[in-house]
Structure 1
Amino acid sequence: MNMKIWFITGASRGLGCEIARAALESGDQVVATARKPEQAEVELAGQAGGRLLTLKLDVTNQASIDAAVDAASKRFGRIDVLVNNAGYGQLGAFEQQSLADIDRQFATNVFGVFAVTRAVLPLMRAQRSGLVFTVSSTGGLAGAEGGSVYCATKHALEGWSESLRIELAQFGIKTTLIEPGFFRTDFLDPSSVFYGDIAISDYANYSAGVRDYLDQMNHQQAGDPAKLGKALVTLAASDDPPVRFAASSDAYDILIDRAERNRAEADQWRELSMSTAVAE
């Protein structure tokens, strides 16, 4: 079967929209879901030629997820590629994040991904095929200052997706983590990013510096969302997509640096590590 059915969350703008656009341009059919699906319709309908279905979906609402997956199944009969893209950044120093903000970040970035994937997997198991893309981040590879909570959610997705890949291999289903660096989207816009609101004087200068740096980077990022969309189409056509895909040169550098630092640190402490084994 050449034509694939894509199911994409957070497809009204940014990376999700460009992934949907690239899939449509390749001749595939797309279910573009978002909290505001009318935005996806405006962005994508002109090139769809009847191959687009836009649906309302809130990843924190189980009824919304079930309704969208059911509508997609009734329209297309299958889902070949799931793209877990919906998410946002909760930034700032850890101590400045309220528990409510942390709960909300995990509800969207982690448990929302879990819920959508759980709803789609029965279809893929029945097909004995499928590919689950999960948009992580370089923040899932390495910690970043001012991003402790956000990075925690992405690290969670890393371990989950890699483990899921092993569990699902028996059904012909693959998983790939997409690890973007900085892409030119509205991720850092006030409509997308949130900062901790607990005022702590010790962090005042630090937090102001982090926020100023990110504000200056906004819409100056090096990554091209359209090119990332095309890259995912290429990955979806592969018989053996990678466990993780570093998207953009900065992500590649972080991935390699993390691997080298892990090896160097492990070698530095090897003797102590070996000493903890039970003596034979």
Structure 2
Amino acid sequence: MFLYVIVLILSFYVYRWFRELGRVPDKSDKFVYITGCDSGFGNLLARHLDNKGFRVIAGCYSEKGEDELKKICTDKLTTLHLDVTDNDNVKKVADAIKTLVGQRGLWAVVNNAGVSVPTAAYDWLGIEDFKHMIDVNLYGVIAVTLSVLPLIKKAKGRVVNVASVFGRISPIGGAYCISKYGVEAFNDSLRICMAPFGVKVLCIEPGFFRTTVTDSCLIKSHLEKLWERLPQDVKDDYGSDYLDKVSVVMRERFEKMSDGDLMKVVNCMEHAVAAVRPRTRYSPGWDAKFFWLPLSYMPTFISDAFFLRNGVKPKGSIL
């Protein structure tokens, strides 16, 4: 019986591997719009798809990001200034894309732009600390998608949304997990709504990778700013050495957990864009597959106990 199960599982993976080999033809005629191309996954994906022959439209926040991409990519790549939190700018970029793609429509949009700070305990934060991250990570995804959805429908193309394993489980305070849960919900409902039009909607849920999102120095810097503005009674609750303890634990764990091979994520993105039969969801990273996602299916008392046991406890903890 055990051997039968093993053979069945192996047969399934071999079948899936063969089924997913096919790639769409005529890449040179297909436009792909990517947000957040200044660095990280978006930058690598723009370069990768450009090398594969796609017509890449790279949305960059900075002029420097645009210039650097232009230097290393072919003249088929187009860069556009994009601030996903600025609705007028999003519409302006969509109009430029409409002119570029013409009657062919837009083959794919990859919603990659995202930020991860400020992230902290909820009693360190005010409501204003949630706005920018939700604007970028959630409203930006929705705004960009809606701005080009008619072009996607025309091409019977794809929408690729970059969420996170923290869109499945929520162990940290702040807007990051909230925004990624929102992306997951938007992705699922959009997938159902667009299926009748031949539009595929795919989701990428990376684990920990070495990007600005997991930059421990950046996160520490924001934590220090938040700590400085806390009232003394809240600082007393946590203890004067709490921030130092968090910084040490965060640095050690991020170094151990963060995968430096960003191509694991980029290859999933490329498959979502280019495969004849893409997957509905991709979970790049061994930590995503074998730790975070399984933990998200565990009973709440198990996942809570894990995070409480392994987290840095405040001075006033009753646990």
More strand by share: 1
Q: Which amino acid aligns with 1:258?
A: S
Distance, in Å, in 1 between the alignment partners of 2:112 and 2:74 is 24
Indicate how the Cα distance of structure 1 residues 119 and 191 shifts in structure 2: closer, same or farther if over 3 A, else same.
Answer: farther
Deviations 1:39-92 (A, max 9, x none): 2431x3344321111110101101111111221221233321111111101311
Q: Does residue 26 of the first structure (1) align with residue 52 of the second (2)?
A: yes
The correspondence for 2:143, drawn from 98, 112, 115, is 115
Deviations 1:16-43 (A, max 9, x none): 101111111211111111211432431x
Distance, in Å, in 2 between the alignment partners of 1:185 and 1:88 is 10
Corresponding position of 1:210: 246
Q: Which amino acid aligns with 1:99?
A: I
Corresponding position of 2:122: 94
Q: Which amino acid aligns with 1:22?
A: H
Deviations 1:81-139 (A, max 9, x none): 11111110131111211211111221111111111111010111233x11111111111
Within 5 A, what are the aligned runs for 1:1-280? 1-3=25-27, 4-42=30-68, 44-77=69-102, 78-90=105-117, 91-127=119-155, 129-145=156-172, 147-187=173-213, 188=215, 189-190=217-218, 194-195=222-223, 197=226, 198-199=229-230, 200-201=234-235, 202-204=237-239, 205-216=241-252, 221-253=258-290, 254-259=292-297, 261=298
Indicate how the Cα distance of structure 1 residues 81 and 219 shifts in structure 2: closer, same or farther if over 3 A, else same.
Answer: farther
Distance, in Å, in 2 between the alignment partners of 1:210 and 1:133 is 34
Corresponding position of 1:270: none
Distance, in Å, in 2 between the alignment partners of 1:144 and 1:37 is 35
Q: Which amino acid aligns with 1:114?
A: I
Segment of structure 1 superposing worse, 48-57 or 230-239: 230-239
Q: Which has the higher contact order (CA 8 A, sep 6+)?
A: 1
Q: Which amino acid aligns with 1:2?
A: D
2:276 match: secondary structure: coil
Distance, in Å, in 1 between the alignment partners of 2:55 and 2:91 is 20
> What is the RMSD of the two structures over their aligned residues, measured on CA atoms?
2.5
Segment of structure 1 superposing worse, 55-64 or 92-101: 92-101
Indicate how the Cα distance of structure 1 residues 148 and 19 shifts in structure 2: closer, same or farther if over 3 A, else same.
Answer: same
Distance, in Å, in 2 between the alignment partners of 1:80 and 1:262 is 40
Distance, in Å, in 2 between the alignment partners of 1:263 and 1:232 is 31
User: Structure 2 unaligned runs (5+)?
Assistant: 1-24, 303-319
Indicate how the Cα distance of structure 1 residues 99 and 229 shifts in structure 2: closer, same or farther if over 3 A, else same.
Answer: same
Q: Which amino acid aligns with 2:122?
A: F
Q: Shift of residue 250 of structure 1? A: 0.7
What TM-score, normalized to structure 1?
0.84
Indicate how the Cα distance of structure 1 residues 67 and 258 shifts in structure 2: closer, same or farther if over 3 A, else same.
Answer: same
2:294 match: secondary structure: helix
Segment of structure 1 superposing worse, 54-63 or 226-235: 226-235
Structure of higher CA gyration radius: 2
Identity %: 30
Q: How many residue pairs end up in the alignment?
A: 261
Q: Shift of residue 219 of structure 1? A: 6.7
More helix by share: 2
Distance, in Å, in 1 between the alignment partners of 2:42 and 2:220 is 14
Whether the aligned pair in 2 keeps the contact of 1:137 and 1:178 (CA below 8 Å) is yes
Segment of structure 1 superposing worse, 21-30 or 233-242: 233-242
Q: Which amino acid aligns with 1:110?
A: L
Q: Which amino acid aligns with 1:57?
A: L
Whether the aligned pair in 2 keeps the contact of 1:5 and 1:79 (CA below 8 Å) is yes
1:180 match: secondary structure: coil
Whether the aligned pair in 1 keeps the contact of 2:264 and 2:285 (CA below 8 Å) is no
